[in-house]
Every structure is written in structure tokens, then in C-alpha cells.
Chain A
């Protein structure tokens, strides 16, 4: 299958190094302390943050820093087909963990000991790159909630198809079976907080991607 035409256009008309259209909105959930809606093309994610608040389960309380919890879920209507497993599957658990770790790394947790921060992320519409969209949405929601952070995390995915490195894969490109990498960075600190690679990525390709 031809994912990049010889004219250098992808299936949706983007060039390899172009992202999809981004749209973000904060304060979409009135009841939450902070919330954000984040769109990357047809991927649409909503995030809500509660906290810092009192730890619900006392046994989990940490004396010198805040407890960060994260729950990721996909709406049943988010993909075309109705989802079979709505919650608690391995993929969701894994992404929850990824988001929690990424966020924990940028929240100044030691400023809020014995408290708890809850991040809820839900995918409303999935079209590839949900992981990075969730991280972006979560950051915005945390910022909206006024939680002290080292930096704003930004995330994006990239892949390698038809011997071309591609930025911000959509669902069709994501399911093509090529290698994909999700990166989260702290732009002002110039640090990487998340680096996840799916599939085998050969160093040969990596060199080509650099240049």
C-alpha cells in the first residue's frame, strides 16, 4: 500500500512532516477543577482533573508528595464499531499508566504532600495518536486546574512508512504495521519525559530519519 505518494503527499493530503489540525479548549467540564478538550484531526479527547484534594484511601497517602492517579477510557462510540470491552482492558491500563507517569514527572508533587490529584481522560473519537492527544489534553487540564508544574508536556507520534518518516500518524497509517514512536517532551526544560516505541525500529532507519 502506498502511504506516501511519489508526489510526497500522504493519504489525507498532508506532507510527511506536517501535523494534523490541532484544536484545544479548556474549561469544558464545569464541575472539575480543571478540564480540557483536545483535538488532533479526527482524534478528540477530553480530560478532567480533580485535586489536589484529600486522599480518599488513607492507606495510599504519601507523606512527602502528592498522589497522582489517572484513568483512561475510550468512549464506546469513539471508534466506528461498538467497543466490546469498555473498560479495564490491558491497553487502557497501560495507557493510564503511561499518562500517570508522564504527568507525575512534570507535576511538582512535593509541594502538595498528603494530597491526591485525579486525572480522567476519555477518548471521544479515535483516529490514531490517542496516546499523545491524551497527554496533551491532560497537561492542559492540569494547567487549567492551576496545579504547579515544571513545564507543559507536549506529545506527538511519528512513524516510518514507505521509507519515509511521518509525523502524527492517523488511524490508517497507524494500523499499517510500521514502527511508531510516541514522544513527550518538556519544551522549556528541553527534556524528554516519554518515549515509547512500538514495533521494531532499525537503527538504519533511525539514521535516515535524523537526516
Chain B
């Protein structure tokens, strides 16, 4: 059957163009239910007796819930997919991934090309209503097609759509009531709480009767904001929250050419760090209010110690709060303003995940939970005492609620065995995502890291286990005088060496490289992530590690006076640096000194020092000199890579200068070079 679809489209140069597209309606689109006799069962995926049809908004908002394995037998209509794709591509990709996942029972029904479910636009029908109607028609078709043996349930949070569906005899439920009916309490936590305007009032009043007052002023409608921006009443800019004071934010505005300061949460009006906001300037006499304002906020903040800065959760010492506020009072005031509307949310579009870290000392844990809950993350039945950190997606921020509401996505790590908790597992979170778009995946990875790491700790009881010592392939070299030479302040010591003079006048030289493979097994998430990262990246203030910090800085770091697993190369050399024999082995070493380049050089230069390490250093240096000379004679190329160091301003933490460290020609580089 041929139908045509006529619509108007805006072209690139803003002209309206009429488009006519053909639509071929088919009778060979199968329903995908295995119980169906008439349809092709080779594509069938739906097996349960209840089949869910989801609405666009359910997909858009509750994708975390849909990704949970408890939700299955879902029909995703093609109109829903199209609408989701137009509104949010990342959600579209996630739902597509669900549909193509053979473990999940999600079925895409191309309702717009099916002869019975194709709907045509009626006169004066909005595209939204058309889609809602298409969804209802398809649901009805499913129910009729599958007969009474199967219950087809339409999940929609749109009240109007639900009412119409019930009128038409379709089973329809809101996602909340459906999830409740499932009786799985952990699913409730994944549920996105709808903005209060959409929910039935009596439901909400049960929950929090006292909180019904309006706290924040309303956001202005978009049309008013655009008009206001054009007339210069409002100013547009990106909101940046003060790192040390979550009640102070700046909006850099081009129209004013200066930064507008916003004091207090009420003035910030539910804006998050990074949001593009419209700001209205306060009258000039209120510009001086900063001190009283921030103090007032301070009071109200004191009750709840665990603060959720609407920012990057950058925890700075709370005392600096007063200092900044007081200090700025003397400065002639800058324009201050208040947020009247949010043009673009930072959290909706890109980051989706907000990392809420609750790291609290044990005795204080329980009372603080109450505070934590008061922040509006209604966590339902979540077993809070186990949680160390969780990923929470922010969904909305009502006018009536002091805090944003969100839903929990996943627990990153738990407290685990407290005896083994000397290592702060959050050090694992030290890396920052290499690709911001992959933030979500990265968080998952960190979760993996944590768990793997804990397992590693539980199983091997520290870096060197007795099994390692007993292993026949592992050489016990703890008696050797091994030391390492690295740049000053180096924490991830990956190589160490030793040099021993033998009775026959020769030298035994060994290079020991940290045995990372003992901890990172191929194919594990740790290995996958490490190979994606490739190398550790050093930035001005931080380092993006290839491997988690506890591994690089402790377990695999060949630090002084601790036993570590290593991979060793041991040569026997003549004083002329001719190699007589060599052997390779896994080993256990115990470094006796972690020297810096400068230290090592100073030791060698100081002729009074005759201790064993210094002697070893000198011996090795002389060997290295011979080797280097020979290499150069043979035409070796010297690749000089300068080491740089940033000088950082102590207050602003901005890099001031890059200093190139003096190149230190030292034996170790040669030694490692030949070991490699």
C-alpha cells in the first residue's frame, strides 16, 4: 500500500519547503512475540506474558532503568526511536545497543511502515499528539494481534496519553507504578523522579509534607529570556562556581565585559557549574551585600556538613569561606546579579553522571547519612551503609526542593573489609577521563578497578605473598644491594639496579624492572583500560595514570626497604664492560635506597664517601662510561629529551613557567637502555 507523507521543512537558508515522501506500508513486519503463530518467529524476541510498550519520554528519562536486566520484553516503536534520536543521540545509541543486545528481549517494531499501525496526521494535530496516538494505535494493535494470552502494557508518564489510552481500552501505567508492582526495591532507585509538576500531588505530599514551600524563584520562559537578552536587561554567560565557596559563582558576560558575581543559592537559582545562564543585574545598592549574604548561607550550611557543591565537588577547606568573603568586602564591589533562567544545562546534555563521594570516618557515618539524604537524592531502599561512592544522575531541580533530585546509577565501590583499608581506594579515582564524552564508561571502569583492586588485596595480602616467594621461577634477590635512581620526588619507581664485584674481578650488574604483569593480567578490565590509555600522561597539576595509583605508586613501585616483585636481567661483565653471561628471571628484590639523580651524583662526587652503595654507583658509572664510549664509536645516536617541570603559582595554581631541568647524564639511563 502506498501512502504519501507530506510535510513542511525548513531548509538550510531558512526557507520553508514542502517535502513529499512516499511511505510504503507493509504486511511483512513481524510482531516479534514468540507466542504469535502468524508472524515469522525467527526474529521473535519477546517471550513473557506481559509485553511493555514504552513511550518516548520513558526512554529518554528512564534509560538507566531500561538498561537494568530486570526490565525485559519491551517493544520499542520506530516512532519512539525517531523521536529519541532527534532529542538525544546518546540515549538513542544506548537504546539501540539494548535492542541489538541478544541477551535482552527488546524488539523494535517499525510501526510507521506497518499497514495496520500507520497513522496519518489529522487536521490541527501537533507532532507530539500524533506520536502519542501512533504509540496508542500500535499498542492496541499488539493487544489485538496477540490476543488475550498476552498482556500488552503501555508505559507512559504523560497523564493525557495515559487517560486516552485507558479510554481506548489499553492497559496503561506510569513507569513508577509499574516498577513498584514488580516488587524489586533496587529498581526504584534507578527510577528518575519526575519533576513535581508532573506528578500527582497527593503522592508527593505523603512523602514530604513540610517541604511544599517554594524555595527558588521561577525560571523565566525562554522567549522572555531571548527578548531580555536582546534588550540588554539580561546577560548571558557560563556560570562558574567558586572552587572554595559553593555559594558564590561568577558569570562571565560579554555584554557587560566584566564578571557578574552571584551570591547565595537563591540567586544562583538551581544553576549548576558550567550551565549557560541568563543573569539579571541586581540594583546597585545590593551590590554590597556580599558579606551578610554569604554569612547567612554559611549558617544554614552549618547544619549539613556534607555539602553538595553544585560544582565539581572540589572539596576545599571550609574555613577559606569566611576569608574570601571578608576579603572581598573591602574591594569596591563588582556587579552582582541573580540567575533568571538557564539557557543550557550542563548536566543534561553531556555529563549525566555526578560523582557523589561520601567519604566519612566510620564513627560519624550514620548521622551524616541523614544529612546526605536531605540533599534530595531520594535513595529509597538503597543500602546506604555499604556505600562509599555512587554515581548519581541529576534529573531535575524543582522550585520547591532545596536540592536537586536525581537517581542513582550505580555504586562505584563499597567499604569492604575495614582492616585492609589502609589504602584510600579513592586514590584510584585520580585519573581524569581522556575523553570527556566517555565519562560514563570511565566511571564504570573505575568501578571495575576498585573491585579488581580489592580482590587483589584480599587474595594476595600485600604486594609480595608467600606463594611468590615459594615459586621456583622467582629468584630471591633480597640479599642483593639493589637501589634505584630517579628524578627527585618520583613515586612510581619502575626500575632499580645493582652492581656487585665478583671475586674474579668481574662485575655482576643487574637491572630490575617492576613486575606489573603479576598484578595486571592480560584481558582483564585493568589491562584493557591500560592499553587504551597507552601511557601515563603528565599534566600541570595532575597525572593521568595508565594504571591505578596504588599499583604504580605502591605495589609495583620499587621503593626503598620494601620487598617487591620484579623482573631482573643480570649480566656478568668484565671491568672493560664486556658481557660474559646474562640471565633473565622473575625475582623478589628489596631496594636499599631510592636515590634521586642529584643525590646519586653528589655521592659519587664526594670522595670521602666509601659506603657500599656509593662504591656500587661508581663501579656502575665507570662501566657505563665505557659502554657509552663504545656505543658512540659504533655510531649511536643520542636522543636528548628534555625533562620539563612546571613552576606553579602557589595561590592560583596557574602554571607560571616551564623550567627545563638540567639533563642529567647518568648511568641508569644507559643501564635501562641496554636492558631494554
B113 adjacent to A13 (CB under 8 Å): yes
Contact with A along B22-63 (1 / 0, CB 8 A): 111110010000000000000000000000000000000000
Contacts of B467 in A (CB 8 A): none
Contacts of B4 in A (CB 8 A): 42
Instruction: Tell whether A11 is near chain B: CB-to-CB under 8 Å.
Output: yes
Interface size of A as a range: 10 to 19
Contacts of B96 in A (CB 8 A): 6
Given A12-B22, A13-B25, A21-B2, does the pair A7, B110 have CB atoms closer than 8 Å? yes
Given A80-B17, A81-B17, does the pair A9, B113 have CB atoms closer than 8 Å? yes
Instruction: Tell whether A20 is near chain B: CB-to-CB under 8 Å.
Output: yes
Contact of B18 among A14, A18, A42, A80 (CB under 8 A): A80
Contacts of A42 in B (CB 8 A): 4, 20, 22
A16 to chain B, nearest CB (A): 13
Contacts of A18 in B (CB 8 A): 24
A7 adjacent to B108 (CB under 8 Å): yes
In chain A, positions 47-89 with a C-beta closer than 8 Å to chain B are 80-81
A12 adjacent to B23 (CB under 8 Å): yes
Given A5-B78, A6-B96, A21-B2, does the pair A13, B19 have CB atoms closer than 8 Å? no
Contacts of B17 in A (CB 8 A): 80-81
B21 adjacent to A80 (CB under 8 Å): no
B22 adjacent to A5 (CB under 8 Å): no
Instruction: Tell whether B407 is near chain A: CB-to-CB under 8 Å.
Output: no
Contact of B26 among A6, A11, A13, A20 (CB under 8 A): A13
Contacts of B19 in A (CB 8 A): 80
A6 adjacent to B100 (CB under 8 Å): yes
> Which residue of A has the minimal Cβ distance to B20?
A42
- Whole-angstrom CA separation of A14 from B23 in the bound complex: 8
Instruction: Tell whether B99 is near chain A: CB-to-CB under 8 Å.
Output: yes
Instruction: Tell whether A165 is near chain B: CB-to-CB under 8 Å.
Output: no
- Whole-angstrom CA separation of A70 from B19 in the bound complex: 31
Instruction: Tell whether B590 is near chain A: CB-to-CB under 8 Å.
Output: no
- Whole-angstrom CA separation of A7 from B26 in the bound complex: 13
Could you say which of A12, A18, A42 has the most chain B C-beta atoms within 10 Å of its C-beta? Answer: A12
Contacts of A7 in B (CB 8 A): 29, 78, 108, 110
Instruction: Tell whether A197 is near chain B: CB-to-CB under 8 Å.
Output: no
B659 to chain A, nearest CB (A): 51
Contacts of A21 in B (CB 8 A): 2, 22, 24
Given A6-B96, A21-B2, A81-B17, does the pair A170, B22 have CB atoms closer than 8 Å? yes
A13 adjacent to B20 (CB under 8 Å): no
- Whole-angstrom CA separation of A41 from B20 in the bound complex: 11
> Which residue of A has the minimal Cβ distance to B24?
A13
- Whole-angstrom CA separation of A6 from B109 in the bound complex: 11
Given A6-B96, A80-B17, does the pair A14, B110 have CB atoms closer than 8 Å? no
Given A6-B100, A6-B108, does the pair A12, B21 have CB atoms closer than 8 Å? yes
Contact with B along A183-209 (1 / 0, CB 8 A): 000000000000000000000000000
Contact with A along B82-125 (1 / 0, CB 8 A): 00000000000000100110000000101011000000000000
Instruction: Tell whether A28 is near chain B: CB-to-CB under 8 Å.
Output: no
Contacts of B29 in A (CB 8 A): 7, 9
> Which residue of A has the minimal Cβ distance to B112?
A13
B92 to chain A, nearest CB (A): 10
Contacts of B22 in A (CB 8 A): 12-13, 20-21, 41-42, 127, 170
- Whole-angstrom CA separation of A42 from B24 in the bound complex: 12
A14 adjacent to B21 (CB under 8 Å): no
B574 to chain A, nearest CB (A): 59
- Whole-angstrom CA separation of A9 from B108 in the bound complex: 12
- Whole-angstrom CA separation of A9 from B30 in the bound complex: 13
B24 adjacent to A14 (CB under 8 Å): yes
Instruction: Tell whether A176 is near chain B: CB-to-CB under 8 Å.
Output: no
- Whole-angstrom CA separation of A41 from B24 in the bound complex: 10
- Whole-angstrom CA separation of A170 from B4 in the bound complex: 13
In chain B, positions 614-635 with a C-beta closer than 8 Å to chain A are none
Could you say which of A9, A11, A18 has the most chain B C-beta atoms within 10 Å of its C-beta? Answer: A9
In chain A, positions 67-125 with a C-beta closer than 8 Å to chain B are 80-81
Contact with B along A116-152 (1 / 0, CB 8 A): 0000000000010000000000000000000000000
B493 to chain A, nearest CB (A): 50
Contacts of B112 in A (CB 8 A): 13
- Whole-angstrom CA separation of A5 from B20 in the bound complex: 20
Contacts of A170 in B (CB 8 A): 22
> Which residue of A has the minimal Cβ distance to B2?
A21
Instruction: Tell whether A24 is near chain B: CB-to-CB under 8 Å.
Output: no
B607 to chain A, nearest CB (A): 71
In chain B, positions 415-451 with a C-beta closer than 8 Å to chain A are none
B213 to chain A, nearest CB (A): 48
- Whole-angstrom CA separation of A127 from B22 in the bound complex: 10
B65 to chain A, nearest CB (A): 23
- Whole-angstrom CA separation of A172 from B9 in the bound complex: 14
- Whole-angstrom CA separation of A13 from B29 in the bound complex: 10
In chain A, positions 1-30 with a C-beta closer than 8 Å to chain B are 5-7, 9, 11-14, 18, 20-21
Q: Kindly list 13 other residue pairs between chains A and B, CB separation below 8 angstroms, not including A80-B17, A127-B22.
A: A5-B78, A6-B100, A7-B108, A7-B110, A9-B110, A12-B21, A13-B22, A13-B25, A13-B113, A21-B22, A80-B19, A127-B20, A170-B22
24 A–B contacts, CB within 8 A, in A order: A6-B100, A7-B29, A9-B29, A9-B110, A9-B113, A11-B21, A12-B21, A12-B23, A13-B22, A13-B25, A13-B26, A13-B112, A13-B113, A18-B24, A20-B24, A21-B2, A21-B22, A41-B22, A42-B4, A42-B20, A80-B19, A81-B17, A127-B20, A172-B21
Q: Interface residues, chain A, CB within 8 Å of chain B?
A: 5-7, 9, 11-14, 18, 20-21, 41-42, 80-81, 127, 170, 172
